[in-house]
Amino acid sequence: MAPLSGVTVLDLTHVLAGPFASHTLGDLGARVIKVERPGTGDDTRAFPPFVQGESGYFAALNAGKASIALDLKSPADRGIFERLLARADVMLENYRPGVMERLGYGWEALHQRHPRLIYGAVSGFGHSGPEAGKPAYDMVVQARGGVMSITGEEGGPPVRVGASIGDIVAGMYLAQGVLAALYDREKTGRGAKIDIAMLDAQLAIQEHALAITAATGVAPGRSGARHPTITPFSTYRAADGFFVIAAGNDAMFARLCAVLGLPVAEDARFATNAARCDNHALLKRLIEAVTLGHPVAHWIAVLEAAGLPTAQVQDMGQVLRDPQLLARAMVLPVAARNGGPAFTAPGNPVKMSSLPEIDHRAPAPALDGDRAAILCWLDEGRSS
């Protein structure tokens, strides 16, 4: 059995941060029931790309979940929701602070009625602080949290990270909080509230920027692909494209010099990591004067043979064909639903000896497509 077998998650979240968290919990064995708005459902059902009118974005994040559409202002639907709460272990929501309280389903009210229920909330700025009620999207917290200030080329404008890390990292922390609360409940018998702010999560992942600023009083700027405190640790040009070299210490740098035929390992300008960081632009020119002479595949083979960390800069098409990822079941088909389109989704990156590996994902749900099955499950619980 999967670690979270028997755990039921009511997922009121939409778009990315919350659905990413419930997706993670589902991968660990939880049953995830999406509670969606009638008529439209999760916003991402309308996000491209589309295949036969269905969203590939939605399918990748919501494969294997169940869906029921409920209007939490309707007495009849509130009745169904109350029955769901009585059988759930976890409820997730990503509304602005105060919305659930106005509906009568805030943490204090639910904790009194369902003391074992775990309440997970993710929002832009959290449920406390002077700006708790402000709206936010991924780009807002990437900007305010400092990530964009260190992303982009030196001298260029700030750049949003290509993946939606404002949402995704918050979703990861929400999943971690739920797991900790489930463990704590085993000891105390009581649920807990998890309050995740996307802005908090952006600060938490900036290990070097925080350390540099706190220690020196000077905030680091943009440095492109180059690591701000390790050199050489960046992208480099080959004859036919880009690859990365990550020589993280002096011994690796000496091996790199030997492989490239560069007689600079003992040069005072490059003999230490601090010196290499001071002279990073010159060192990059020296390295690329050599690497431009051969294609990427040549340098990958040569550097790997010398035990040096390296990789080609792959586009997503190459990533989906990567033999290492395929061997670890990280590219999975999403099964078609009732003759509908098939999609592709990431596999589960959490590999556990007690967690069976899967070779495909169950279909993403149709809006309200599991209502009958969910109501039947509730009736079974009532009779038992």
Mean pLDDT, the chain cut into blocks of 10 residues (384 residues total): 95 97 97 97 96 93 97 96 97 95 97 98 96 93 96 94 96 98 98 98 94 94 92 97 96 97 96 96 97 97 97 96 96 86 92 92 95 95 66
Cβ atoms of residues 166 and 141 within 8 Å: yes
DSSP 8-state secondary structure symbol assigned to residue 71: -
**Which positions ≥6 away from 186 have C-beta within 8 Å?**
none
Residue 129's φ and ψ, nearest 5 degrees, are 95, 165
DSSP 8-state secondary structure symbol assigned to residue 320: T
Closest CA to 237 of 310, 291, 283: 291
Strands (DSSP E) contained in 98-152 are 118-123
As a whole number of angstroms, the distance between CA 67 and CA 37 comes to 10
As a whole number of angstroms, the distance between CA 146 and CA 137 comes to 15
Question: 8-205+323-383 and 233-313: same fold?
Answer: no
Helices (H), 69-205: 75-87, 99-103, 107-113, 138-144, 165-188, 198-204
Q: Are strands 31-36 and 8-11 parallel, antiparallel or unpaired?
A: parallel
Catalytic residue among 23, 114, 127, 227: 227
Cβ atoms of residues 44 and 57 within 8 Å: yes
Give the class (CATH, top level) of 233-313: alpha beta
* pLDDT tens per residue, range 174-214: 999 999 999 999 999 999 999 999 999 999 999 889 999 99
* pLDDT at position 383: 62
Exposed, middle or buried, 157 (CB in 10 Å: 0-12/13-18/19+)? exposed
* pLDDT at position 382: 72
As a whole number of angstroms, the distance between CA 359 and CA 5 comes to 19
* pLDDT tens per residue, range 108-129: 999 999 999 999 999 999 999 9
Which residue bears the tokens 């775990």?
A: 118
* SS3 (DSSP) at 233: strand
* SS3 (DSSP) at 35: strand
Token readout for 86 is: 């009585």
DSSP 8-state secondary structure symbol assigned to residue 44: G
**Other residues' Cβ atoms within 10 Å of the Cβ of residue 142:** 24
Q: Which CATH number fits domain 8-205+323-383: 3.40.50.300, 3.30.300.30, 3.40.50.10540, 3.40.1280.10?
A: 3.40.50.10540
Cβ atoms of residues 333 and 343 within 8 Å: yes
Q: What is the largest CA-CA distance in the chain?
A: 80
**Is-catalytic flag, 298?**
no
Please state the domain extents for the chain: 8-205+323-383, 233-313
Length of the chain: 384
Closest CA to 2 of 354, 332, 373, 362: 354
Q: Are strands 50-51 and 54-55 parallel, antiparallel or unpaired?
A: antiparallel
Q: The whole model's pTM is what?
A: 0.93
Which residue bears the tokens 């035929």?
A: 261
Token readout for 174 is: 């929400």
Positive or negative, the CA dihedral 338, 339, 341, 346 is positive
* pLDDT at position 340: 76
